[in-house]
Structure 1
Amino acid sequence: MRLFSKLGLTLFATSSLVLTGCQPFVQKPANISQQVEAENQFNLQGKIGVRTPQQSGSAFFTWVQQQQQFDIELSGILGVGKTQISGQPGQVTLNSAKTGIIYAESPEELLEQATGWQAPITHLVDWVQARPATVNAQIQKDPQQRPTQFIEDGWTVDLSYNDSASLPNRLILKQALESGQENRITMLIQNR
């Protein structure tokens, strides 16, 4: 039971942080900034699964993004194990019955505190909107010119779409490890 509790806590913290989309503020020209701000408003619901060499698990999520602020709720089946994550630039909090409140300055820092591993969490805001997070991304596209894969910051992100949808309904994030194993996050978006 104790192992399950630790695994559950780590899974929820990992899942929570994977979803956090708090992006650092970057000064952009007005027209580009306005377009990004409009795009960075969404409400997603779905399921997320996390698998590392040490553990695996899944949770249901609701993610509300309003430009630089976000609110994410994670829960197991029938709402068991509820975790709340909120953030804005410079302040991210995770609150659950098992951990209490954990504070950090960034989603990446919070993920490392909670789980001990690192991931480019802030990139998820872009990836769920079918766009690369950096100018250095390697991008593959399908015949409709929708991105099907990003390779950025040591992660490979595969995007899948329903029919002619312009935004992905499934993302698989993979990080190859030196041991030959991988960290894998599967995100299924059921409602936008």
Structure 2
Amino acid sequence: MKRLLGFCLLLAGCAGAPPTPEPEPVASPEITWQSRQLQLNALQNWQLSGRVMVSNEEDAWQLNVIWQQHDDNYDIKISGPFGMGKVRLQGSEDGVFLYDGDGHAYYAQEPDSLLLEHTGIFMPVTSLYYWIRGLPDPATDDVQISQLDAWGRLIHLRQDGWSIDMKRYVQVDTLQLPDKLFIRNDKGIEVRMLVEAWKIKN
């Protein structure tokens, strides 16, 4: 419980990468946003490491995450206090395998239900691929609210029953990417993600 409380305080505070000095506000956030979307959608090869707290009305989990993305292929290593200790998701547009700490492999078409089935943790991995870059998930047109800041960055989104807040951005090479996200839905599931390191690959 103390560890979980400490992590909650860390997420609520200013831990993580040093804040990026804010540039001057842009003349038209909407036009800048259109340009940003093109840049962010072109970002296909990257890696992040960080911490995630997932909670529902009954339980909470503190997780460490390393996510590597290469085009449509991803490799996500998740470690935490659930029974298997560590799991690994390796997937592509053809499906995903989950490998547990005992070396067992499980297959599904998408990662969200696979992770839930074998760890008891629901995390919207499919949509996080977009949200973590500061983009809406294009797989659904159900975007109810979309809010930009003065620099044309997405800071709030309500999509497909989820409320997503990009709490902070950091400079990563030539891009500004979120490093602190709060995500929740109307079923009581909450995901808080703190990215400790971003790396853009060529």
TM over 0.5, shorter chain: yes
Is residue 186 from structure 1 mapped to residue 192 from structure 2 by the alignment? yes
RCO higher in structure (CA 8 A, sep ≥6): 2
Indicate conservation of the 8 Å contact 1:40/1:125, yes or no. Answer: no
Q: 1 CA distance for matches of 2:41 and 2:104?
A: 32
Instruction: State the alpha-carbon separation in 2 of the partners of residues 107 and 141 from structure 1.
Output: 29
Cα distance change on mapping 1:120 and 1:61 into 2, 3 Å: closer
CA distance in 2, matches of 1:71, 1:59: 16
1:1-192 → structure 2 map (5 Å cutoff): 38-76=42-80, 81-97=85-101, 100-114=104-118, 120-134=124-138, 135-137=141-143, 138-162=145-169, 166-177=176-187, 182-192=188-198
Residue segments in structure 1 that go unaligned for 5+ positions in a row: 1-33
Report deviation, 1:35. Answer: 6.3
Give the superposition deviation at 1:136. 3.7
% identical aligned pairs: 26
Coordinate RMSD, CA, aligned: 2.7
Task: Indicate if the aligned counterparts of 1:37 and 1:67 stay in contact, CA closer than 8 A.
Answer: no
Q: CA deviation at 1:114?
A: 3.0
- Give the aligned residue type for 2:146: I
Number of equivalenced pairs: 153
Relative to total residues, which structure has the larger helix share, 1 or 2? 1
Q: How far is the alpha carbon of 1:123 from its aligned partner?
A: 1.4
Residue 121 to residue 163, structure 1, CA distance change in 2 (3 Å):
closer
* TM-score calculated relative to the size of structure 1: 0.69
Gaps of 5+ in 2: 1-37
Q: Deviations over 1:65-106 (max 9, x none)?
A: 1111000112249xx922211101122111112582221111
Q: Deviations over 1:45-67 (max 9, x none)?
A: 00011001121111111100111
Instruction: Identify the residue that residue 8 of structure 2 maps to in structure 1.
Output: none
159 and 176 in structure 1: CA distance in 2 versus 1, 3 angstrom threshold: same
Say whether the 8 Å CA contact 1:47–1:61 is kept in structure 2: yes
Q: C-alpha distance in 2, partners of 1:67/1:148? A: 25
- Structure 2 residue matching 1:167: 3-state secondary structure: strand
